[in-house]
Amino acid sequence: MDETARARVQATWAGADYGPTAARLEPAAAALVDALAVGPGDRVLDVAAGTGNVALAAARRGAEVTASDITPRMLELGRARAEAAGLAVTWVAADAEDLGGGDGAYDVAASAFGVIFAPRPERAVAELHRVLRPGGRVGLTAWTAGGHMARMTDVVLGFFPDADRRHRPFDWGDPATARALLAGPFADVAVRTAALPWHFPSAAAARAFLERHSPAHVAAAAALPDGRGAEMFDAVEAFYAAQAGPGGAVEVAAEYLLITGTRPG
């Protein structure tokens, strides 16, 4: 990733208070760590770690954990979380497409809703393969291609008709695509569907949450001219209002894929 793109990514992910969003995603990270059978002594790399949901879950299971992310603000928040929890995690700055470190250094490489944002997925997969020892385990979570998060993102993308759609994070959310991306370098690729509760007391509350705690939404709104950012959030609120129950509460299941594989020995 060139320096201009790197700076843009770092600014995006530092542009909102991400903590409450990370908290909502914790159950998926725990499910991923369980699926990878992380245990004491495993050397684990959390790739595109954000504030470290996977890293902290693995550390609680006795693993030796390194968390990497491209955004300094995420690393700062992650360190604070680990220290507050009394967990030992090493934090390093790294691009998912260029992880650095030694070949075969880890038993487990995992990423919860992180690697899916790498603009060159094949390169990110190659890096996951490189850092794992033979027999090591890889695992990712990805929002499903036709699920709630994808539909909400389509609402936002409607305000960007010229957006480059050659790769979207939701490409990973198609089981066939996920298998194809991992099947070359990895064996025993398995894909299963799970869901997170994505609940708000009202459509207005959903909008307010995203306005404060979703870096991608905040960055998209800021990129729009002449008040169109507010119009975008109006459309997001309408999207949620269409799914509200009789009392106005929004209770949806945010589907995701849990994808695992093994580096051949």
For the stretch 3-49, pLDDT in tens is 777 777 777 777 789 999 999 999 999 999 999 999 999 999 999 99
pLDDT at residue 165, rounded to an integer:
65
The domain over range 3-262 is classified in CATH as 3.40.50.150? yes
pLDDT at residue 147, rounded to an integer:
96
pLDDT at residue 7, rounded to an integer:
79
Q: Which amino acid is at 38?
A: V
Among residues 108, 28, 101, 30, which one has the least CA distance to residue 64?
Answer: 108
Which parts of the chain register pLDDT below 50?
none
Rounded Cα distance between 71 and 6, Å, is 9
pLDDT at residue 166, rounded to an integer:
62
Average pLDDT along the chain: 94
Inter-CA distances, 17 with 118, 170, 248, Å: 22, 23, 26
pLDDT at residue 167, rounded to an integer:
67
Among residues 102, 85, 95, 14, which one has the least CA distance to residue 49?
Answer: 95
Rounded Cα distance between 10 and 19, Å, is 16
Q: What are 84-92's contacts with CB under 8 Å, separation 24+?
A: 85/56, 87/56, 87/59, 87/60, 88/59, 89/52, 89/55, 89/56, 89/59, 89/65, 90/65, 90/66, 91/52, 91/66, 91/67, 92/66, 92/67, 92/68
With H, G, I as helix, E, B as strand and everything else as coil, classify residue 99.
coil
**pTM of the prediction?**
0.94
With H, G, I as helix, E, B as strand and everything else as coil, classify residue 224.
coil
pLDDT at residue 6, rounded to an integer:
78
With H, G, I as helix, E, B as strand and everything else as coil, classify residue 64.
strand
pLDDT at residue 8, rounded to an integer:
79
Rounded Cα distance between 112 and 134, Å, is 22
Domain ranges of the chain: 3-262
